Each structure stands twice: as C-alpha cells, then as structure tokens.
Structure 1
Amino acid sequence: MIYCKRNNYKLYMGDCLQELKRIETKSVDMIFADPPYRLSNDGITCKSGKMASVNKGEWDRSRGLKEDYNFNKRWIRACNRVLKDDGTMWISGTYHVIHSIAFILLEMGNYIINEITWVKPNAAPNMGCRCFTASQETLLWVKKDKKANHVFNYSFMKELNGGKQMRSVWQIPTTPKREKVYGYHPTQKPKELLYRCIMASTNKGQLVLDPFCGSGTTGVVAVENERNFIGMDNLEEYVELTNKRIEAI
C-alpha cells in the first residue's frame, strides 16, 4: 500500500513482490537493491567493540538454499519488468548471496556492466578467529541487455576521483553515526556509496527505485540530487524512518 506520496518521492509499505506490481512497466531509470543477505544464523559479531548477535530479524533468516534462490529470482524478474530498456540496476551483497544472484541475472539475459568491490577500512573484526576478517561487499551493476544504451556519467565520476578514471574497487567507511540520527537499521548503507551509484548512472529528474529501502539512504541521496524516488519496505518502522530522513532534507 502507499505509505507516503510527495512531489518527488513515493513510499510503499509491503512485500516488494506485491508492491512492484503497482509500478508501471518500463518506467524506472535506475534500481538499487539491497536484498536480505540471509546472515541471521544465531552467530556472533562485534558491535561497538562488544560481542553481539548477528541476528537482524526474521526477514534476514535463510529459508533454505532453494527458497532463497527462488525469492531472488522473483524479485529480480519483477524489477526487470519496471526497469526501462536503457535503465540499469545495482545489487549489493556478500558472498552469501551475490554469486547466486549473478547466476540468476545471467540466466535471465541481463548483462553485468561492472562488479564493484566495496572495501570497508573500518570493518568489524572477526570474533571467531577461524577465517579472514570479512571487509568487503560486492555490487553488481547490470542492464537488461548488452546492447542497451545505458547512462554512465564518465566525466563526472572521473572528476570525483581527482581527474583519474574511477576504478571498480571503492574504499568507503561503513555508515557514520551522523547518518543514523533519525533511527537505526542493521544494514544501513553509507550515503557516499549510494552517491557514487546514483550519480554514475542517472541524470537529474530521472526515477530511482529501491525495493528493499530499509533506512532510506537511496531515497535521501536521490532526492538531495534532484532525482525522483520510489521506496518499498515490508516493515512500517523502516518506511517511517525513510520518510523522516527524506523529509529532513
């Protein structure tokens, strides 16, 4: 259902598979999707220097390999329907989900433009000490077809990178406290990360959609930079958080 509607953004509360049906076919210029990584397995992590549970909520629990795969296939298919033929989609994930997502994309005929490695210089330490400390996530930048004429603001990204071609390894710290003043979400992405994605692949006035908007960082960056935004989440507390953050701009 529609939770909030303004001139430059609209928020839906509900399952994205249902809410995406409300969106017109081939109407969206860019999608940023941060789907569940399925990491809530009763393990431990480090939070603010203390041991803490990795559990984020029932929405992040695995339903089993097959069901997780089918869920990703369904929402990607739904996103492909609303994405314009020359639009692009960004999908973030850790190794727990991103490889199966890449397979689904190729299976559906999507073309992977780039694989971005987001390196976190301040990543949380590994508490188990039985493997290397996970300090990166992967972003897949894709389009519906290899021949599609997608937007890439090459000159701007080069300027942003000090006059040199921007490479596919991005070193960006995790979300700072100043971006969490309106509330907390366990997987909130930093604005700097979304800024690069949105500014690289959209122009002013274009429409950005996030089917798992969480704390709304995608919407905040989109609206701040004169793009339009559609956000979706199935939990009211996060839709409300998104709305607060965008209204504060």
Structure 2
Amino acid sequence: MQTYYEKKDLKLFLGDCIETLEKITPETIDMIFVDPPYHLSNNGFTCQAGKAVCVNKGDWDKSSGVQKDFDFHQKWIACCKRVLKPSGTIWVCGTYHSIYSCGFALQKSNFKILNDICWFKPNASPNLSCRYFTASHETLLWAKKDSKSKHIFNYETMKNGEWDHDKIKQPNKQMRSVWAINTPKMSEKTFGKHPTQKPLELLRRIILASTNKADLILDPFTGSSTTGIAALELGRKFIGIDAEKQYLDLSIKRFEQAFSKKDKLW
C-alpha cells in the first residue's frame, strides 16, 4: 500500500482499490462514499459543453460483461464492509448502467439499504440521439452495515440547514429523497477535471447528513477527491484511493489550494 500524499488528516493511496482496502485496519471507517466505474466507455458519444464528445473515459471504465462487472462490485463492496465501523454507512453513486448491480451486491453482502436518493441535475446535458428521455439524474444508495446497526443521521441539519441552492428543498421541512444540485462549477475544475467528477455541494450534503466532526471518511475511487475536499472543509478526516496517478496529482493541487485557503482564515 503506497502512500502517495499525506497532510494533516488526509491520506491518498496510489493503487488498486481492492488490494489497498485489504490492508486497511478493519472497522476503522465512519463513512464511505463510492463512485465506482459505470462501465460506459463503449465508443459512443455524448454532449459536453454543447459539443459531441466520445464517452470513453479510460480502460478502467470499460465493461467486462454483466457477470464480471457484478463480480467486481461484489469484491469492493465486501472490502468496504470489512473496514466500515458497525455504526458506519456507505453511499454508492451510479446511473442505471451500474446502480442496480451495486444495489444487489450490497444486499448480498447483508447491507441494509436506508434510502435511494435521486440526484436531479437541473443543468444536465441534452440527449444527442433524440431517441431517449434526456438523462438528468443519478441515483445514490445509502446503506448501513446490517439491519441491527445504529447509524448516524443528522436529521435537524438536513431539515433546518441552509439549502437555498436546491429548489426542491422547502424551508423547515424534512429533507426529501430528491435533491436538485447542479453539476460541478467551473471553479471546481481550476486544475483540470475528472471525467466523472461530482459537485462539491453533493458531497457536502452527504457528509453533513451521515457523519460528525473528526469522523474518518473513505473514498476508494477518489478521482479528483471532491469527497476529500468536502471532508477537509467540514472538519473530517479522509482517505482516498485511486489507481490513476494523474487524478491523484489533480487531487493534490486541489488539497493544497484548500489548505492555503484555510491557513488564510487563521
């Protein structure tokens, strides 16, 4: 397990997520956010910034077939369960290409699914073929380790927090399972971008909902480490794993900028 970057309460590891997870001490993680490969790199096209672009993201996103893709999801989910505390929860993000497989794998590992969240993207890209409904959401599965475990849910924060950016959330009403959050802002791509980068606002909400300050958060497919940036901002600890050096280098630039901003506040 190669430590690629370490500063204060943050650690990044370069390597295969399953091999790295197997070396982490069992039951030490408070929350896991997982944005696994959706296996969409099939030489097709999508719309990005008004232009047709190839959907291929890298070899890591290519499908190996339904059964092998499912086997892969089962392996990393089993590894995540081993390192998760009894009170911990896991969040898994995906589209219809992957989320059903992940959900079944969670159930086979005896996780208890608490919610499926619809992350609605008001600014989603249009559909180029005009033969399908425009894909404008992703699904988040939130699960606890088993049916008997007691998990963290910061109900009051979700109900009474400031969520002015979300047109669906009504003031002083319970947080519903549909969240309207735009895709990443340009300011979140200052040093470049990951092809499946998630918006900071999404991760802020997840972390505020299901962790407390000083909790340890893990992202086994960390990419450009949006999870880690949100964790740092909110006073949590973070471990990120990725097999792609270029995205860990991007993560480091983002972390250094975030640390610089925090230092200025002090």
Q: Normalised by the size of structure 2, how large is the TM-score?
A: 0.92
Greater relative contact order (Cα < 8 A, sep 6+): 1
Residues 37-83 of structure 1, C-alpha deviations (whole Å, 9 max, x = no match): 01111011111111111111111110111110100000000000000
- Structure 2 CA distance for aligned equivalents of residues 125 and 58 of structure 1: 25
**Structure 1 runs not aligned, ≥5 long:** none
- Structure 2 CA distance for aligned equivalents of residues 115 and 19 of structure 1: 28
- Residue 31 of structure 1 deviates from its aligned partner by 0.2
- Structure 2 CA distance for aligned equivalents of residues 118 and 49 of structure 1: 22
Query: Does the alignment pair 1:218 with 2:227?
Result: yes
SS at the partner of 2:22?
A: helix
Which residue of the partner structure matches residue 175 of structure 1?
Answer: 184
- Residue 171 of structure 1 deviates from its aligned partner by 0.6
Which residue of the partner structure matches residue 97 of structure 2?
Answer: 96
Q: Normalised by the size of structure 1, how large is the TM-score?
A: 0.98
SS at the partner of 1:46?
A: strand
Sequence identity (%): 53
**1:173 partner amino acid:** N
Which residue of the partner structure matches residue 87 of structure 1?
Answer: 88
SS at the partner of 1:155?
A: helix
**Structure 2 runs not aligned, ≥5 long:** 164-170, 259-266
- Residue 22 of structure 1 deviates from its aligned partner by 2.1
Which residue of the partner structure matches residue 209 of structure 1?
Answer: 218
Query: Does the alignment pair 1:243 with 2:252?
Result: yes
Which residue of the partner structure matches residue 240 of structure 2?
Answer: 231
Matches within 5 A, 1:73-222: 73-160=74-161, 161=163, 162-222=171-231
- Residue 247 of structure 1 deviates from its aligned partner by 1.7
Residues 195-228 of structure 1, C-alpha deviations (whole Å, 9 max, x = no match): 1100100000000000000011000000111000
Residues 86-120 of structure 1, C-alpha deviations (whole Å, 9 max, x = no match): 10000000000101111111111110011000001
**2:152 partner amino acid:** V
